Amino acid sequence: MAHGSNYKVKYRRRREGKTNYYKRYVYVINNAIRFVPRITNEYVIIDVTKFDPKGDVMLAVAHSIELVKKYGWKGDTNNTPAAYLTGYLAGLRALKAGVKNAVADIGLFVPTKGGRIFAAIKGAIDAGLQIPVGDLGDIEERVKGVHISEYAKKLQSENPELYKKLFSRYMARGLDPQNLPQHFEEVLKKIKEAGS
């Protein structure tokens, strides 16, 4: 490890790969309200935050486990459709809190066209939140889970053993993965009716 009078140890969160302090500095200087989607191994968590010197203030929060508990979601809680639905939920809550515009803060995620982060952002935009982003590409079918449905259909005919293994959680919850796009539409309708 380097040492000496000119060596400066980076902040702990930077060393751990959790925070890009230059980006954070830009958000603070602009006093921007941030739309912050984060994806873990199990869930999608979205915060709409405002900077405060004492600590960020959460204006609206949405967690993908709510899709299961409140709206009857039977799919995975961290896939592309779940990211979209959680983003939609966060967008509705942000609008209720009086937020009309936000800036996407994807943190240290590498921007990938059609990725789950952008599905969450698209959900918030479709809910009515203004988030300036470039071309999101054609992710309409991905957010509905059409790609998962088609893969399940293909896998069931080619390798039934692997199909049962990969989609066991879907089937245990009572959802045929080939019906995911229809289930997505049902849950989205419930969220719209509830209004958040």
Asked whether residue 192 carries a pLDDT value surpassing 80, the answer given is: yes
Asked whether residue 59 carries a pLDDT value surpassing 90, the answer given is: yes
CB 100 within 8 A of CB 129: yes
Q: Which residues contact 6 (CB under 8 A, 6 or more apart)?
A: none
* Cα separation, 92 vs 62, whole angstroms: 10
Asked whether residue 1 carries a pLDDT value surpassing 70, the answer given is: no
Q: Which residues pair with 104 in a beta bridge?
A: 35
* Cα separation, 151 vs 21, whole angstroms: 40
Range 13-194: architecture per CATH: 2-Layer Sandwich (3.30)
The whole-chain average pLDDT of the chain stands at: 91
Q: Which pTM does this prediction carry? A: 0.88
Q: What is the pLDDT of residue 2?
A: 62
Per cent of the chain over pLDDT 90 is 70
Q: What is the pLDDT of residue 15?
A: 84
CB 91 within 8 A of CB 83: no
Q: What is the pLDDT of residue 3?
A: 67
Asked whether residue 53 carries a pLDDT value surpassing 90, the answer given is: no
- What confidence category does residue 18 fall into, taking pLDDT thresholds of 50, 70 and 90? confident
Asked whether residue 195 carries a pLDDT value surpassing 90, the answer given is: no
Mean predicted confidence (pLDDT) in 175-194? 96
Choose among 140, 80, 72, 133: nearest CA to 102.
Answer: 133
* Cα separation, 163 vs 181, whole angstroms: 18
CB 100 within 8 A of CB 87: no
The lowest-confidence range among 48-52, 106-110, 187-191 is 106-110
Per cent of the chain over pLDDT 70 is 97
* Cα separation, 171 vs 135, whole angstroms: 35
Q: What is the pLDDT of residue 37?
A: 96
Name the residue ranges covered by the structural domains of the chain: 13-194
Tell me the pLDDT tens digit for each residue of 79-129. Answer: 999 999 999 999 999 999 999 999 999 988 888 888 899 999 999 999 999
Question: Which token pair is 60?
Answer: 């609206």
